[in-house]
A and B are shown apart, each in its own frame.
Chain A
Amino acid sequence: GESVGLHLPTLSVQEGDNSIINCAYSNSASDYFIWYKQESGKGPQFIIDIRSNMDKRQGQRVTVLLNKTVKHLSLQIAATQPGDSAVYFCAERRRGSTLGRLYFGRGTQLTVWP
Chain B
Amino acid sequence: DVKVTQSSRYLVKRTGEKVFLECVQDMDHENMFWYRQDPGLGLRLIYFSYDVKMKEKGDIPEGYSVSREKKERFSLILESASTNQTSMYLCASSLLKSTDTQYFGPGTRLTVL
Contact = CB atoms under 8 A, between A and B. Distances in A.
Most buried by A among B40, B45, B102: B102
Q: How large is the interface on B (under 10, 10 to 19, 20 to 34, 35 or more residues)?
A: 20 to 34
Q: How large is the interface on A (under 10, 10 to 19, 20 to 34, 35 or more residues)?
A: 20 to 34
Interface stretch (B70-78, B79-87, B103-111): B103-111
Contacts of A101: 33, 45, 48, 100
A22 to B, nearest CB: 15
Given A43-B107, A44-B90, A100-B31, A49 B101 contact: yes
Contacts, number: 59
B42 A89 contact: yes
B105 to A, nearest CB: 5
Interface in A89-114: 89, 91, 93, 98-102, 104-107
A106 B107 contact: no
Interface string B14-49: 000000000000000011010000001111010010
Contacts of A98: 48, 50, 56
Contacts of A44: 43, 90, 104
B43 to A, nearest CB: 4
Contact of A100 (B40, B48, B104): B48
A42 interface: yes
Interface of B: 4, 30-31, 33, 40-43, 45, 48, 50, 56, 90, 92, 94, 96, 98-107
